[in-house]
Structure 1
């Protein structure tokens, strides 16, 4: 349940009244910040559930892979699950290993080191690709975090300018002349903070999860490389 302060219809009415008194520029800025807020919340929730889903898929695939004694004899079905980050790394490494094996046989060579190098290079490419996948949308969210306060500040400055312009034109400093500009300035500042503050916490939370999952991905790649090296001897 929301606190009574935020659920108060009086407060909502006051905000609407303040918005109606704002100038055109401040209205555009406030509406734009509202759209940014909706987009930021959508991105944060979407990214959270995406990372959670990928983590569960990774754990399930890793558990299935551990049930096989050797990587090189795993069924082909294990290489057809590219949507899973761990499976993508596994498929790249195994397929690259067997391609190198075929080339070595054609040349009459028995160079196990070359096969391992091909597999490790494929692992690095897959690791970079999945890292980009984990980090997708984070730049956009970081832009909202850093940009929203400045957009709100723009509205603040513009509102103050309108207030002083109104006073200069009418040569009086009454509340009627100052209210529209000052109201717009304060509302723009509030809107910028309302967008930025939740986005900061959401971004830091998602960034921590992303870095942890990238570390887990790197550890999985290292484990795959070690197992391949042992099996190729």
Structure 2
């Protein structure tokens, strides 16, 4: 029952808000829905990618050699670890082919090309991990300011309407409470987005560290195999 009256009171306050405040409140509500969609989507994406990475890494551990693995295993570009592996092996053999034609073929040159390819693949996958995070950060920092803008505008309108009249707190209360509605809306959007952003940033850092460790391990294995 209390929740019902609270909701009714919020609707009344929203109705008392001017058009600018209502537009801001509705816009913040839309941003909130988008933010929650992005947060859940990003969490599921990062969890799925980590599971795929671990499965692919386990698959490589079972192989005695990496350089001679079939091409079908290198075509799984949707898996970050597989993308690094594919770029590394393809760069290795491409360098071997070109250097052999020039009569300059040696394992060190092959490995240098392979390691460069790994670094490019890492940068590409890090951008993939961090996708959508800028949008969340923008909502976290921008929503409170949009709410404050609506409040300042509403308070200014409330005082402007009382110009030339004897104003009291009772007369100003409806306009001020309506103005504060946008501040509440901004905080309701920003606070969950802030917690979600910090949580997801932690996940991104975890996956980024795991990616770099995997890249180092991959480079070590390729170096050992090239010397055999």
Q: Tell me which interval the TM-score lies in, with the shorter structure as reference length.
A: over 0.9
Asked if 1:147 is matched to 2:129, the reply is no
Report the equivalent of 2:217.
Answer: 223
1:109 shift after superposition: 2.9
Q: Secondary structure at the match of 1:168?
A: coil
Contact 1:23 1:180 in 2 (8 A): no
When the two structures are aligned, how many residues end up with a matched partner? 227
Runs (4+) of structure 1 exceeding 6 A deviation are none
| Contact 1:163 1:177 (8 Å CA) reproduced | no
2:63 match: 68
Aligned equivalent of 1:156: 151
Q: 1: distance between equivalents of 2:205 and 2:66?
A: 27
Q: Tell me the equivalent position of 2:25.
A: 30
Does 1:107 pair with 2:99?
Answer: no
Q: Which residue number in structure 2 is paired with residue 78 of structure 1?
A: 73
Q: Which one of the candidate residues 151, 167, 175 is aligned to 2:162? A: 167
Tell me which residue corresponds to 1:214. Answer: 208
Q: Which residue of 2 aligns with 1:90?
A: 85
Could you tell me which runs of 5 or more consecutive residues in structure 1 were left unpaired when the two chains were aligned.
none
Runs of 5+ unmatched residues, structure 2: none
> What is the CA RMSD across the aligned residues, in angstroms?
1.3
* Corresponding residue of 2:177: 183
CA–CA distance in 1 between the matches of 2:60 and 2:51? Answer: 14
User: Residues of 2 paired with 1:28 and 1:179: CA distance?
Assistant: 21
Q: What is residue 5 of structure 2 aligned with on the other side?
A: 10
TM-score (norm 1): 0.94
| Cα deviation digits, residues 173-213 of structure 1 (max 9, x gap) | 14674244212221111101100100000000000000110
Cα distance between partner residues in 2 of 1:110 and 1:174: 89
- Cα distance, 1:103 vs structure 2: 1.1
SS in 1 for 2:162: helix
Does the alignment pair 1:192 with 2:186? yes
- Secondary structure of the 1:95 match is helix
Give the whole-Å Cα distance in 1 for the aligned partners of 2:187 and 2:98: 60
1:74 deviates by: 1.3
Secondary structure of the structure 1 residue equivalent to 2:64: coil
Q: Write out per-residue CA displacement over residues 97-146 of structure 1, whole angstroms, 9 at most, x where no aligned residue.
A: 00011112212333111100000000011000000000000001000000
Q: TM-score, normalised by structure 2?
A: 0.96
